[in-house]
Structure 1
Amino acid sequence: MHGYFPYFETRSITFMRILRSGLRSSAAALVAAAALATAPVAQAHDSVVGGNVVSDAPLEEFPKEITLEFSAIPREGFNTFAVTDTNSGDVIFDAEPTVDGRELTVETPEGVNPGPGHYQVGFQITSSDGHATRGSVPFDVAGQAADSSEESTTGDPVADAAQNASTPWKWIIAVGAVLAVIAVLILFAAKSRRND
């Protein structure tokens, strides 16, 4: 009977090795799962959070430069701004912006001043995560041109009223002058007949 003990002892050692190996594999799997569970969520593409054209109120004049501030620092290269007239769809100008931290800026070309209107600045940038991001920001420009044109169209109400009021008197004077001439001619003709 004692000859069987080594056999059982060997089987016991083998079982313990298998058990320890299984425990190590399970522990490794748990660590991997925990790492995945606690890994940071990938950030979304950079979005516009500010800028000199981001405003609820119209701008007083067309900006000399356009700056957009993003939620993270975009990467250099492959960045483009394009400013368009939203009414006509015409592209006013496009340029590659300079990157200064989270702010991207383009200068309006010299001589470009479309005046009052509705515009948008479209952008294509390389986000901080390396992906291309596209979008647009609308903005309005007010100014005096629209007011001046409106004034020239409507005119001066007081002057218009005075001119309209003087028009009937002009007709009355003209008709009176014609009647006076006719009366003089009739009197002259009657006098000529009496002399004959």
Structure 2
Amino acid sequence: MIRSSIHLGRTLTAGALVAGLGLSSALLAPVASAHDTAIGGSITEGDVLDEFPEEITIEFSAIPRDGFNNFAVTDQATGEVLFSEEPEINERELTITTPEDQDPGDGDYMFGFQITSSDGHATRGGISFSVESGEGTASASETANGAAVDSEGAETPAEAAEEAEGMSTWMKWALAGVGVLAVIAVLAVMLAKRRGYDAE
């Protein structure tokens, strides 16, 4: 009876130890296999920049593995991928350079990334940002100034009315003159015919 109790106690102790180890493994497993995440960089979500960046650097929570890493920038208005390339790895920081033939200008953009995490799994993510250089505002101001100049050079309604009235008077005299000439011509023709009749 005593031996059975001792055996049962040992069995329960071993079972508790195994269960404890299993629980510890379960708690530690997510930490060991956690994917690398973006924790900072030259751009962050919702940034509004004065100009499009020449370089984009993203810092990750661990050092990604080399190979199968890709960064891309998309124009959110059109959905067009402006450029895509493999980033350079410097410890936890990955960097791409904007191609020289690209000059995106103002607009809303999405920076997307796909990397191979330190645990070997693929990690994807995106960061949206905008570029507002203020050139559009300057253009609007120039347009307003141009409109002001045009308005200064434009005639007032009174001036236009006076010109129209003067033109109307001139047209009246011109038409009157044409009418007089027409009447004279008709009279001349009639007079010529009458002379012809008288001669007969």
TM-score w.r.t. length of structure 2 = 0.71
Instruction: Extract unaligned runs of 5+ from structure 1.
Output: 1-11, 190-196
Residues 109-155 of structure 1 show CA distances to partners (whole Å, capped at 9, x for unaligned) of 11211111110111111122221111111010111432244345555
Shift in Å at residue 31 of structure 1? 2.1
Q: Which residue of 2 aligns with 1:161?
A: 151
What count of residue pairs does the alignment treat as equivalent? 175
Partner of 1:31: 17
| Aligned CA-pair RMSD | 3.1
> 1:80 maps to what in 2?
70
The 3 A distance-change label for structure 1 pair 168 and 55 is farther
Structure 1 segment 29-108 matched on structure 2, within 5 A: 29-39=15-25, 40-43=28-31, 44-54=34-44, 56-108=46-98
Of 113, 121, 135, the match for 1:145? 135
Unmatched segments (≥5 aa) in structure 2: 181-200
Q: Relative to 1, partners in 2 of residues 1:87 and 1:186: Cα closer, same or farther, differing over 3 Å?
A: closer
Aligned to 1:134: 124
CA distance in 2, matches of 1:79, 1:109: 18
Cα distance between partner residues in 2 of 1:63 and 1:115: 10
Using structure 1 for the length normalisation, give the TM-score.
Answer: 0.72
Identity %: 39
Distance verdict in 2 for CA 1:155–1:30, change over 3 Å: same
